Every structure is written in structure tokens, then in C-alpha cells.
């Protein structure tokens, strides 16, 4: 079992670390205090981030997961776009998770397009920055309960509804919107549509004020008789009761490991900085027995063990995606573990550092605030546990609620 970082990604990881250290960290506090201000320094990094995909034209999710792959497709071992994205995101979020989310052309909607779009759509939307709009005022963790409608009219679909908590919703070029073709059919009728900014009927109604990740804009968007070309519906327009919702849900199998990677990155930042600030009180001798350690040393050792477990679970989920293996359970395990661990680590680091951890002279308190969202969006801790239980027990969503 090889747990080493693939050699071909060594330069990628170092490059991402240098960006985090020399670009993101220095402006981290600036944009934490200047919420909704556009981080103009990130524009010059967009081209660099575009290349962080294993040196190929693939993007995250382009190597789709699932049991339908042929033996030829699954032969050999691949470390591709999903693995490279996870490794680079860990390093970038060691710098600043909010700024990573604000990076041009790196939206979660891009992963949705890669996971569901056909070949023509992949080419047409290449290079676009896409946000992802799922959550609604009456539909949060239960994505199947969305009420935004899409009605076919000639060569277009007419969208009506409201989306909230859309990450990069105001700055992205377009938004991937989840809507239902028919309320009576249920989950199978839910499809995703690419809606470009400037489309009549689409309006940004507000930007949220948040606890953390303030560098990233979070928008509420309304759709009133918004006309979208039919060829902007991602994947097939057919309503298949057996597979329809599974197609769009596959997006999460690719994006949840990315959110887990964000959590791992910010948790590592907190651990590293805490050890540095407490170095005069720590022996750094892992050879002695835990009972001989100080409270601070013992606590940090336990936190590092939890962090390593979350990291390996995340790498496994990404590796499975690259190798066309069904990873829904593993993606949820990684996201649940990493989200909780990041919360625990950052808050404990604030506690261990006392007034230093609580003050704005250090970024520790900011990382504690930033980490909370990573246990909430892309599915809460409770939702991930429900998904894991369904996979382990082989139960459907109607059988296990």
C-alpha cells in the first residue's frame, strides 16, 4: 500500500505551497476584514491554477466514477485530475481557504460540468468559471426537495425559483443551477443547467455576511422567467426514474473530496503554526511514551493523528474517482471526517494558544472561523453519516431517511 505523494505531482504540490506562502497568506487578513471586496491579486494566479490538473486537459470529475467502466478503462492505476486537485487544494488552503474559493475559474460548478456534461458541452464551457447553485430557502441538505422549476418552451427552458448560499455566485462567469422538470416525478426530474451571468431573468439579490471565508462571495440569486438554451442542460434531458437524480448527484462524489481537502489544508495550517508558537514548550521527541508527554504535546499528537487519518481517507476517495471506482461512500466518509477534524483542530489550537490564539495578531482565530463552513456545505456532518449508512446497509433514500 503506497501512501506516498505521486512523484509526478511533487512539483505541483511545491508550486501550490509557494503560492499559499507568498501570495495567499500575506493578503489573508486584508480580505477577511474587507468582506465582498474582490481579491484582485488572484487574477494573475488564474492561469497557474488552470494548469494544476495533472498536466492534461482533464478537470476534476472528468474521470467519472461508477461501476459502468469497462475492464479496459479500469486497467492499470491512475493518479489523475482528482488526485492532483486534492493535493493542490490542501496546500492552497494551508494559505487561505476563502481565497482558494475566490480563485477565478476554479468553482465547484466546473466540477459539476465535468461530471455530467457531454463532450460538446465540455468543449463549449471550457475555460469558464462556474459556480454551483443547489440550496434554496426551503431545501438545504435535502437536495431532492428543490423547487426551482425548468419548463421546456421551444428550444429553451424557462427557469423560475430562488437559490441561496451560492459560492462565487456573483463573480463567476456562469452558474450551474439545479431545477426540476416535473415536481410530480420526484428526484428523477432534477437536472442541472448552465446559466450565464447577464441572462435576462437572473438577478443577484444579495451577498451574505459570514462568520468565515469572507474573501469568497456568497450570493442569493433569483430566477424569474429566465430563458436558458436547451443545450445548456447538462447531460441527458431524459427523465429516468432509475438513474435521473443519480446523474446530478454524481457531482458530489467528485466535489466532496475537494471540500475535505480544504479542511485538511486549514487544519494543517493551524497545527503547524501552533507548534511553531509553542516550540519552546515542546520536546518534538516522538520516541518517548505518551504518558511522559506534557498536556500540550499529547494534545497535539492526538490532533495530528486525526489529521493524518482524514488526509488518507481523502486521498483514497480522490484515487477511486480517478480510477473509475464508485466512491460515494468514501467521498462522504472523507468529507465527514475531515470537516469534523478541521473544526476540532482549529478550535483546540485557539485554546492551546490562549490570548495569542484568540487575538488578531495571528491567523489562528481566522482559521477557526473559516473551518466551520467546511463541516456544513457540500452536505452537513449528519447528511454524510446518513449517506454512509445507506451505502453500508444497501438502503435507498426512501428506505433510510
What is the C-alpha radius of gyration for the chain, rounded to an integer number of angstroms?
21
Grid coordinates representing 186?
A: 420526484
CB 309 within 8 A of CB 340: no
**Can you tell me the distance from the alpha carbon of 151 to that of 131, in angstroms, rounded to the nearest whole number?**
22
Rounded-to-integer distance, Cα 396 and Cα 386, Å: 11
**Angle made by CA atoms 285, 339, 305, in degrees to the nearest 5:** 20
Distances (CA, A) of 239 to 139, 183, 190, 193, 279: 21, 12, 8, 15, 60
51-58: Cβ within 8 A, 24+ apart: 52/12, 52/15, 52/16, 52/84, 52/85, 52/88, 53/81, 53/84, 53/85, 54/8, 54/9, 54/12, 54/79, 54/80, 54/81, 54/83, 54/84, 55/8, 56/80, 56/81, 58/114
Other CB atoms within 10 A of residue 18 CB: 12
Catalytic residue among 136, 297, 365, 378: 378
Query: Does residue 245 contact residue 187 with C-beta atoms inside 8 Å?
Result: yes
How far is 35 from 398, CA to CA, in rounded Å?
41
- Residue 378 falls in the annotated catalytic set: yes
DSSP, res 330: H
| Catalytic sites, residue numbers | 378
Amino acid at each position: 500500500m503506497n501512501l506516498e505523494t505521486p512523484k509526478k505531482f511533487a512539483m505541483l504540490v511545491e508550486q501550490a505551497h509557494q503560492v499559499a506562502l507568498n501570495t495567499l497568506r500575506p493578503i489573508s487578513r486584508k480580505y477577511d476584514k474587507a468582506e465582498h471586496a474582490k481579491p484582485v491579486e488572484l487574477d494573475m494566479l488564474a492561469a497557474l491554477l488552470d494548469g494544476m490538473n495533472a498536466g492534461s486537459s482533464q478537470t476534476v470529475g472528468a474521470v467519472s466514477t461508477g461501476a459502468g467502466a469497462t475492464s479496459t478503462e479500469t486497467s492499470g492505476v491512475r493518479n489523475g485530475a482528482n488526485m492532483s486537485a486534492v493535493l493542490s487544494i490542501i496546500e492552497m488552503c494551508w494559505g487561505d481557504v476563502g481565497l482558494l474559493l475566490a480563485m477565478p475559474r476554479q468553482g465547484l460548478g466546473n466540477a459539476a460540468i465535468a461530471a455530467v456534461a457531454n463532450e460538446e458541452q465540455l468543449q463549449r464551457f471550457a475555460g469558464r468559471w462556474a459556480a454551483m447553485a443547489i440550496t434554496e430557502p426551503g431545501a438545504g441538505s435535502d437536495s431532492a426537495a428543490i423547487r426551482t422549476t425548468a419548463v421546456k418552451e421551444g428550444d429553451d427552458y424557462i427557469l423560475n425559483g430562488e437559490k441561496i448560499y451560492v459560492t462565487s455566485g456573483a463573480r463567476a462567469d456562469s452558474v450551474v443551477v439545479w431545477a426540476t422538470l416535473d415536481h410530480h416525478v420526484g428526484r428523477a426530474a432534477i437536472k442541472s443547467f448552465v446559466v450565464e451571468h447577464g441572462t435576462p431573468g437572473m438577478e443577484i439579490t444579495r451577498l451574505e455576511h459570514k462568520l468565515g471565508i469572507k474573501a469568497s462571495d456568497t450570493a442569493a440569486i433569483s430566477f424569474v422567467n429566465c430563458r436558458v438554451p436547451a443545450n445548456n442542460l447538462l447531460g441527458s434531458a431524459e427523465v429516468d426514474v432509475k438513474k435521473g437524480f443519480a446523474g446530478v448527484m454524481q457531482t458530489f462524489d467528485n466535489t466532496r473530496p475537494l471540500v475535505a481537502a480544504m479542511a485538511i489544508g486549514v487544519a494543517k495550517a493551524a497545527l503547524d503554526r501552533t507548534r511553531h508558537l509553542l516550540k519552546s514548550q515542546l520536546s518534538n521527541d516522538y520516541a518517548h511514551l505518551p504518558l511522559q508527554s506534557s498536556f500540550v504535546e499529547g494534545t497535539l499528537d492526538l490532533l495530528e493523528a486525526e489529521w493524518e487519518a482524514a488526509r488518507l481517507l481523502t486521498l483514497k476517495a480522490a484515487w477511486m474517482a480517478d480510477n473509475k471506482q464508485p466512491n460515494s461512500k468514501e467521498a462522504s466518509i472523507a468529507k465527514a471526517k475531515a470537516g469534523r477534524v478541521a473544526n476540532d483542530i482549529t478550535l483546540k489550537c485557539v485554546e492551546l494558544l490562549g490570548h495569542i490564539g484568540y487575538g488578531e495578531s495571528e491567523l489562528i482565530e481566522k482559521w477557526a472561523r473559516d473551518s466551520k463552513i467546511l463541516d456544513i456545505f457540500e452536505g452537513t456532518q449528519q447528511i454524510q453519516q446518513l449517506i454512509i449508512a445507506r451505502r453500508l446497509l444497501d438502503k435507498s433514500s426512501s428506505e433510510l431517511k
